[in-house]
Structure 1
């Protein structure tokens, strides 16, 4: 149940939206500075009954009406204080103070500098808050004080888009209600429902929240307050969060076209959801990448190196746009900023968290490889992109039983099994500084369980688990898009697009955890799982080489496998068929020879 103080904050946000008042104006009403009001509004300091009395007097209503909630307070707000529907607050020029050699102290309350941003609206943009490590401070979704769109970023303790860069507003074109036609049925011509003649309801409900603390999303439908399409839900109905509509609610809403469904004997359910999730054309996403490349080429005058630097600069926002587009129609609503458990937090700026990714030990050498043997270093293509096909947790990680559930994913505290095969790399990677139990991610645990099933080691003992419901499809569409663009770039010998794709998937992995360069996601568990999947795949490739009769000399990093033997003709058995163990090429399922050297000689 929402407390009185939190209800008051929601009421303040709703009334500020209805009156189009700025932070400085409301701060002046309670006799404080905008920065102090920001801390009160953001929950860093307490709102007092004196504040409530001052705000109630400012908005012309009794204090009890103000404390009764946003819906009741919005009804009690005098009409003279409401901004007329369809209008915007004008930008009032601020006169520059007279220049003087001696500074004078003003008795007026301090007001933050005004900015005119998209749509001509007036706002106060503050520097984003950062923690001791320089990372952007984030909290639960709350309406941005500048535009009303839910945001996790904080500035001066208040919810605000970074540097005031709110989503652009587009004018709402309202359609007047059609004249009633007695010859038509209730649905009208061509299945179009006429808009109601009465004004929309002004009841504002708090947004529906899921277990992960995120606003419940569904298919876009007209908001009951303003008529614009919205995915958020409040009280089970489509509504912008806390009534923070992009514009004041028009008196009427454009007629909504309801498509007539084709008759079908199949019940609605999983099949229809799947068809909808697959309805997005992958070529549109690929075209977005090609447009970015063309724009960089034009901007740099065709210089390859300069264009590549420009593409690397925009790689993070580009890949996050692709990710959001591919997830727009997904069946699962994932959490982008769930609360992070202590084991996933960095203890210092330059130190890592407690998760061990089991990176292959670069110091390991196969003792069976004798001096003078010819070794081929095989380069594995796009290992991180291949690793996108992994089990990722959907929501917040919570404490689970000390066992592995294939339908869940997360991180685990395990007692690793002993590895006795000197001719194969240890699946737990390089030597750890601390012995004993260790935290590993989902893909490392799955690899150890696979090896235990193959009688190569004992099963790991699970001590603790932090898990959530899992799926392999979160990155499926984005992976498919990047693979298609990459393959086309290889066919057309387009090295610029090829390098851009490499930058896209590598930047997604490296900044999806906790990076000051990516303010759109904070999932350190995803980052560890993807990296661990790439490391686990290298161990699987080493096992494949051993199965094909090759001698594994060493494994370096996440993309080099050094083998002794005729790797081009080595074969393995798969599903009753004999196939090449390592087909040569640049595709994801192929490898290429990086170099050849002699053990004990010069490389």
Structure 2
């Protein structure tokens, strides 16, 4: 049989087809393959669905798992399956027949892999074959699938869901009104009558109640429900770790920290079910996000604060400097405007707030002349245009507004790379982590606290360009989340200055150094400006030092 059709496919498409076909012939599920090649169970599903790519090392591991060579695996489903069967002194037809005759035939899922040539062709079933998925249960009554919202009779990890994209497609096809087949009583006039596109008024009139009943209403995505599913997932992981390690807190904590990255990706998947946005996990990246060499950064300026106030601008005398720590700075920064898809280029000014876009901008910032406040751009030695992220741009525009006292001129935007954005992309995952963190603090649970900290910190550090996370490649998100954390710190410095406190320094992401009674400071509405504690909206005292300004003589 000719392999010409495979030549039109990419290497990844051929690899995915070979994997699906081999799973069918071998009678294996995706979780068995995951265990065999050392990947988390969810990772195989993501790679087979196209949400993340297979790596070369993983292709080698798949070939070893099935006992064939990597070149045979990449040659296509037919060559891979025939080699697999030949190594077992059998044929593909015989292996498939064994699967069909096995008592557990009803429990053995088949796949939608490319057809494999056999010695004696067998009739193919017209029913869509579900992809092998773990933790699938049968529902007593059909319920709306969380992916396509059409009736599903199976549930995955407790959520009504079709177990494969093909089942979703089959359900959608079944839900459409069926056209009558052509016959002797169907003439040309009937066909030409159906061709014109219906007008808007006709479409409105066709929206009748029976038509809506064919497609069940989409289940409402409540924030509390989605967040609670994430909270339950985190609690279950902590309980399982403690049980596996017989209550050894240190061993359980080490295990959970090692699992922080895959668990964080599972949490994102769980809290994104039924989401309105189709996230691009591996988008095209402009040159400004490309590193020129491995050890050098890209062109984005994150505005990391590293600022100390000149002592000449402080009042004379002896002062106590309180070094305050911002709690969960990166966790709070997950709530920021993140681009969803690929970044597109534009010239000149752009109103990203009105257009609901986010990205990066080449700007010439206004001059900063304030010794009592740090520059929102951070410690920058060079003048001239620079590329900044969305949080930094919005911070500069706020500083230039009347509300902030017009501290500087608004930045001049020369060009931009932006995409449609939302502030709620990671919100459910952030809310779940925040709740478990609060519980851990209340219960003095060091295991849960370190687990949550490792999850959000490692998620941010590896979602860009890391060998430890192959399921997400969004360096644009990393820059924007970090810039949001730095912007949040600058906001606290501005509020402290407006309340009459002296801002002495900013350090990295979470260090705010003040002179004055910050515990009693209140904002414009009379509320405490900086509540003390370990909560995300609170500050804690990390250190104190004494400084003397001027001569006492």
1:308 to 2:253 alignment: yes
Q: What TM-score comes out, normalization by structure 1 length? A: 0.61
- Identify the residue that residue 422 of structure 1 maps to in structure 2: 371
**In the alignment, which residue of structure 2 is the partner of 1:153?**
53
In 2, the alpha carbon distance for the partners of 1:19 and 1:554 equals 56
- 1:447 pairs, out of 395, 400, 404, with 395
Q: Distance in 2 between matches of 1:410 and 1:566?
A: 39
- Mapped to 2, the partners of 1:306 and 1:507 lie a distance apart of 19
Offset of 1:299 from its aligned partner?
A: 3.7
User: Structure 1 residue 333 and structure 2 residue 267: aligned?
Assistant: no
Cα distance in 2 for partners of 1:322, 1:145 equals: 15
The yes-or-no answer on 1:351 pairing with 2:296 is yes
1:560 paired to 2:511? yes
Distance 2:520 2:342 in 1: 47
Report 1:498-517 matches (<5 A).
Answer: 498-517=449-468
Q: Secondary structure at the match of 2:284?
A: coil
* CA distance in structure 2 between the partners assigned to 1:164 and 1:16 by the alignment: 11
Aligned equivalent of 1:9: 9
Q: Do 1:444 and 1:533's aligned partners in 2 also have CA atoms closer than 8 Å?
A: yes
C-alpha distance after superposition, 1:486-515 (max 9, x if no partner): 111111111211111111111111111111
**Paired residues of 1:230 and 1:238 also in contact (CA < 8 A):** no
Q: Residues of 2 paired with 1:377 and 1:12: CA distance?
A: 52
Contact 2:362 2:414 in 1 (8 A): yes
Aligned residue in 1 for 2:126:
200
SS in 1 for 2:541: strand
2:492 is aligned with 1:546: no
Where 1:570 maps in the other structure, the secondary structure is coil
Quote how far apart the aligned CAs of 1:236 are.
Answer: 9.7
* Separation in 2, partners of 1:229, 1:359: 45
How far apart, in 1, do the equivalents of 2:259 and 2:547 lie? 43
More helix by share: 2
- Cα gap change, 1:221/1:491 in structure 2, threshold over 3 Å: closer, same or farther? same
* Structure 1, unpaired ranges of 5+: 23-86, 92-115, 129-143, 176-197, 204-216, 240-262
Distance 1:538 1:288, change over 3 A: same
1:230 to 1:590, Cα distance in 2 relative to 1, 3 A: same
* Residues 1:581 and 2:529 aligned together: yes
What residue in structure 2 maps to residue 537 of structure 1?
488
Aligned-residue offset at 1:19:
12
Partners of 2:12 and 2:532 lie apart in 1 by: 64
C-alpha change, 1:9 and 1:231, in structure 2 (3 Å) is closer
The correspondence for 1:438, drawn from 366, 370, 386, is 386
Q: Which has the higher contact order (CA 8 A, sep 6+)?
A: 2
Q: Secondary structure at the match of 1:9?
A: coil
Distance in 2 of aligned mates of 1:520 and 1:344: 18
Change (3 A) 1:148 1:376: closer
Aligned partner (choices 521, 525, 532) of residue 570 of structure 1: 521
Secondary structure of the residue aligned to 1:412 is: strand
Distance of 2:458 and 2:290 partners within structure 1: 20
The 8 Å contact of residues 452 and 459 in structure 1, kept in 2 or not, is answered as yes
Distance 2:19 2:468 in 1: 35
RMSD over aligned Cα atoms = 4.3
CA contact (8 A) 2:464 2:478 kept: yes
- 2:420 maps to 469
In the alignment, the residues of structure 1 paired with residue 12 and residue 443 of structure 2 have an alpha-carbon distance, to the nearest angstrom, of: 57
For structure 2, the 5+ residue unaligned runs are: 65-103, 110-123, 130-145, 153-160, 174-207
Give the SS at the match of 2:448: helix
Matches within 5 A, 1:74-93: 88-90=24-26
Aligned residues, how many?
421
- Residues 178-577 of structure 1 aligned to structure 2 (within 5 Å): 200=126, 218-219=147-148, 229-231=163-165, 275-276=220-221, 278=223, 280-365=225-310, 367-369=312-314, 370=316, 372-404=318-350, 405-406=352-353, 407-432=356-381, 434-453=382-401, 454=404, 455-573=406-524, 577=525
Distance in 2 between residues matched to 1:380 and 1:9, nearest whole Å = 51
User: Structure 2: how far apart are the matches of 1:560 and 1:147?
Assistant: 40
* CA 533–14 in structure 1, closer or farther in 2 if over 3 Å, else same: closer
**Inter-CA distance 165–509: structure 2 relative to 1 (3 Å threshold):** farther
Please give the per-residue CA displacement for 1:43-70, whole angstroms capped at 9, x wherever unaligned: xxxxxxxxxxxxxxxxxxxxxxxxxxxx
Cα distance, 1:171–1:18 mapped onto 2, change above 3 Å: farther
1:140-171 per-position Cα deviation (integer Å, ceiling 9, x unaligned):
xxxx99995435424449xx6794399xxx97
